[in-house]
Structure 1
Amino acid sequence: MDFSVTQAFSIVLLILAVGELVSMKTKAMIPSVFVSAVLFIIGFWTILPGDIVAQSSFATPVVYLSMYLLLTHMGTLMSLKELLAQWKTLVIALAGIIGIITLTMTIGNLLFGWENVVAATPPLTGGVVASILMSTAAAERGLTSIAVLATAMYVIQGFFGYPITSFLLKKEAGRLADKIKSGEIEMTSTGEEEADKEESKFRIIPPLPEKYQTTYVILFKLGLVAALSVMAAPILHLNEFVVCMLFGVIGREIGFLEEKALVKSGSFGFLITILMAFIFAGLSDATPEMLTEIAVPLFGIIVLGISGMAVVSALVGKAFGYTKEMSISIAMTALYGFPANYILTIESARANTRNDEEYQYAVDEMLPKMLVGGFATVTIASVIIAGFFVKLL
């Protein structure tokens, strides 16, 4: 079925809007990404064409542009000091990955067989790149059902990750809000001034006057930094998305980029919409026949992986002084990555705080950890793991 671009756009946005409304009504008990994912998969199984997202104009070029700009923008949310301070988060995220591999490759191997766990484990530790690597390798070896399993793992794991993370982050947001309410933490203007003073040590470019911080100017600067990031990534031997975030941090530190750049430009909401729509488009591959064929190893490996992840990340997090809720949430970013980690954090903070002061404190505490966790798992670790596991298949 073919729709006009406006019809397809309206359908996609209706699904995303319903997800958001349900999340608001349930105070993020049912996260928007989970609701939207369910609606999309039901739609693909019934009346929606598989390319509805592409028909709505959210095709690959603009999606990648959105990703580059959004990740550069995410860098402007953190100072260099804050980023370096997240080394504990990085360790916790990697510990969660180790927990996944430990249980899937031992108990999982006994229950579901070597080929199943080898193909399914890398996608469970991260995102689409790992899924593509494993499914392609399995298909080349004539292992059709194994290739389907690797693809389905990437598509389905978010259904587990969204509600579990939402529950944990809501508890963490409530705990942080109580610290403000009890007076244990005070959000003062003095603290903000000290933060600004710290940033000024690295500033080499004077602030752009407010009247010149227009949509075009901010987007131009973000685009320039993103372009430099893509050029530098092969030289640095790093993933280009990681470099975008790092260069965003540097751009803010030296004064070239504004803090919360896309928010100031008024472009953030639309770009995140493009990205979320594109991610849900992947659900069109999850046919009922596919899920029926590989249901037992799929769900069994997911349960084992999450169990191992939760135990190991909680133990390591406790040693670093993190709550088990925050530690497990950091590790859970492996199941969905960016931008779901951003949306889940914002929704959970909004649902379990009582005023702007509590909300901002909860976001400031949770969001950097969730963003760094997502990069550690999805963008870095999963690709390395997949490259190794391909040889084991």
Structure 2
Amino acid sequence: MAFVFVALVYALGEVVGTLTKAWVPSVFVTAVLFLVGYWTFFPKEIVSIAGFATPFTSPICIYILITHMGTTISIKELVKQWKIIVICIAGLAGMIGLCMALAATGLVDWNYVVSGLPPLTGGIVAALTMQEAAAAKGLEMAALLAIAMYIFQGFVGYPLTAALLKKEGSNLLKGYRSGEVKLTAAAEEKTAEEPEKKKLIPSVPDKFFTSAFALLKVSLVALLAFYIGSWTGISGAVWALILGIVFTELGFLDRDILHKCGCFNFICFALMLFVFDGLKSATPAMLVQILVPLLIIIVVGVLGMGVLSILVGKVLKVSPFMAFATALTALYGFPPNLILTTEASKALASNDEEYQYLMDTMLPQMIVGGFVTVTITSVIIAGIFTGFLQ
């Protein structure tokens, strides 16, 4: 029965997210439903009763997912979009710098800023990392703020990105409609699908590639990352991401391995339930207490991100709208970056050719932005910031 209830709540959140095209994030709806459940008839341990307890969710699922994230990164596409990478890193630096300056003033509690910043720069992995680190130090409010940041940040990121993409798209269409830009030029910019290059470790035949075999390979790499983290003192999550990339390039791990073996959605389901389990001790009074610091951190962080990403974009000759939009992918990642770009392109284009031109121009930059912020940088930032909690 516990499993049925947590699955029902999760599914309702996804339905609302789909119906609203992610303008109302599914994680927000699900979080609200869990809170209502905890405040009424849900037992506090409903997630554990449903079978999603530690160590399965943490550290096993976390390390497996981070290792998988390394298998999704295309080194070639990252190199091609180097300007976007520089802009996104600059945006994150601006966000961190201004928020840390805020913490130094004492206006917002130091632990609130430290626990809230990594989730603001990325996604679920950063949020879980900071939640666990804060909880381990007995910082209950900071742990709650880390999860709340992950849940609420999209409400700033979605409308702001949508406005920026529409402005960028309008400018692109002016050049396209005036004849300054040719469709063929945009088509040439598309990343061509190339045959898989020869790997040091050859792939196993498809008949032997089962879910169990795929999980064995990815968990071996995750285990190695876990031990290297304990030996070096650098978060194992960071090593899991690095080793995921390295072992994919070597050929030991298959590209996008969890999707290939059909396990990705279930691993994410388990991890998200672990996130919502962190809300079980949250009371209305606690949420009210963290609301103001949460909003201040988001506003100050986004301001710092906007200023630095636009300035660096100007130096690299990238429009301010695209520079800021790609940096903002830190607040939501994939698939909202795809959805927002698609919606903006559909709203602006008057025909299929214009729509394709906008998608070919803006989407690769938005996807790379999400990789750099959510998939790569936020994991590294979270690994570092766990040591800053007091």
TM-score grouping bracket, smaller chain normalisation: 0.7 to 0.9
State the one-letter code of the partner of 1:65.
I
The answer to whether the Cα contact below 8 Å between 2:134 and 2:140 also exists between their aligned partners in 1 is: no
The verdict on how the C-alpha distance between 1:182 and 1:80 changes in structure 2, with shifts beyond 3 A counting, is closer
The answer to whether the Cα contact below 8 Å between 2:326 and 2:365 also exists between their aligned partners in 1 is: no
Tell me which residue corresponds to 2:209.
Answer: 213
Tell me which moved more, 287-296 or 259-268.
287-296
1:99 aligns with 2:94: yes
Tell me which moved more, 165-174 or 279-288.
165-174
The answer to whether the Cα contact below 8 Å between 1:95 and 1:309 also exists between their aligned partners in 2 is: yes
The verdict on how the C-alpha distance between 1:8 and 1:352 changes in structure 2, with shifts beyond 3 A counting, is farther
The verdict on how the C-alpha distance between 1:284 and 1:217 changes in structure 2, with shifts beyond 3 A counting, is same
Tell me which residue corresponds to 1:142.
Answer: none
Given the alignment, which residue of 315, 327, 333 partners 1:341? 333
The answer to whether the Cα contact below 8 Å between 1:225 and 1:248 also exists between their aligned partners in 2 is: yes
Structure 1 position 327, deviation (Å): 4.8
Structure 1 position 274, deviation (Å): 0.6
The CA deviation string for residues 286-322 of structure 1, in whole angstroms up to 9 with x for no partner, is 3111133454444334433333333333433444455
Tell me which residue corresponds to 1:121.
Answer: 113
Structure 1 position 232, deviation (Å): 2.7
The verdict on how the C-alpha distance between 1:320 and 1:227 changes in structure 2, with shifts beyond 3 A counting, is farther
The verdict on how the C-alpha distance between 1:240 and 1:279 changes in structure 2, with shifts beyond 3 A counting, is same
Question: Distance between the aligned counterparts of 1:325 and 1:160, measured in 2?
Answer: 23
SS of corresponding position for 1:341: coil
The answer to whether the Cα contact below 8 Å between 1:105 and 1:117 also exists between their aligned partners in 2 is: no
Question: Distance between the aligned counterparts of 2:203 and 2:38, measured in 1?
Answer: 48
The CA deviation string for residues 176-201 of structure 1, in whole angstroms up to 9 with x for no partner, is 9999x9554438999222xx36x43x
1:25 aligns with 2:26: no
SS of corresponding position for 2:113: helix
The answer to whether the Cα contact below 8 Å between 1:120 and 1:150 also exists between their aligned partners in 2 is: yes
Structure 1 position 384, deviation (Å): 3.3
Please give the root-mean-square deviation of Cα atoms over the aligned residues, in Å.
4.0
1:304 aligns with 2:300: yes
The answer to whether the Cα contact below 8 Å between 2:165 and 2:322 also exists between their aligned partners in 1 is: no
Question: Distance between the aligned counterparts of 1:90 and 1:213, measured in 2?
Answer: 34
Question: Distance between the aligned counterparts of 1:217 and 1:188, measured in 2?
Answer: 37
The CA deviation string for residues 73-97 of structure 1, in whole angstroms up to 9 with x for no partner, is 2211123444566776665455445
Q: Which runs of 5+ in 1 are unaligned?
A: 1-6, 140-146
1:316 aligns with 2:307: no
The CA deviation string for residues 151-188 of structure 1, in whole angstroms up to 9 with x for no partner, is 34313223431233334565788879999x95544389
1:162 aligns with 2:154: yes
Question: Distance between the aligned counterparts of 1:190 and 1:252, measured in 2?
Answer: 20
The answer to whether the Cα contact below 8 Å between 2:329 and 2:370 also exists between their aligned partners in 1 is: yes
Structure 1 position 57, deviation (Å): 1.0
Tell me which moved more, 235-244 or 223-232.
235-244
Structure 1 position 131, deviation (Å): 5.6
Tell me which residue corresponds to 1:66.
Answer: 61
Tell me which residue corresponds to 1:251.
Answer: 247
Structure 1 position 333, deviation (Å): 6.6
Tell me which residue corresponds to 1:53.
Answer: 47
Structure 1 position 341, deviation (Å): 3.2
Question: Distance between the aligned counterparts of 1:70 and 1:53, measured in 2?
Answer: 19
Structure 1 position 279, deviation (Å): 1.1
Structure 1 position 278, deviation (Å): 1.0
The answer to whether the Cα contact below 8 Å between 2:325 and 2:366 also exists between their aligned partners in 1 is: no
Question: Distance between the aligned counterparts of 2:87 and 2:16, measured in 1?
Answer: 31
The answer to whether the Cα contact below 8 Å between 1:90 and 1:376 also exists between their aligned partners in 2 is: no
Equivalent pairs counted in the alignment come to 364
The verdict on how the C-alpha distance between 1:185 and 1:121 changes in structure 2, with shifts beyond 3 A counting, is same
Question: Distance between the aligned counterparts of 1:31 and 1:324, measured in 2?
Answer: 26
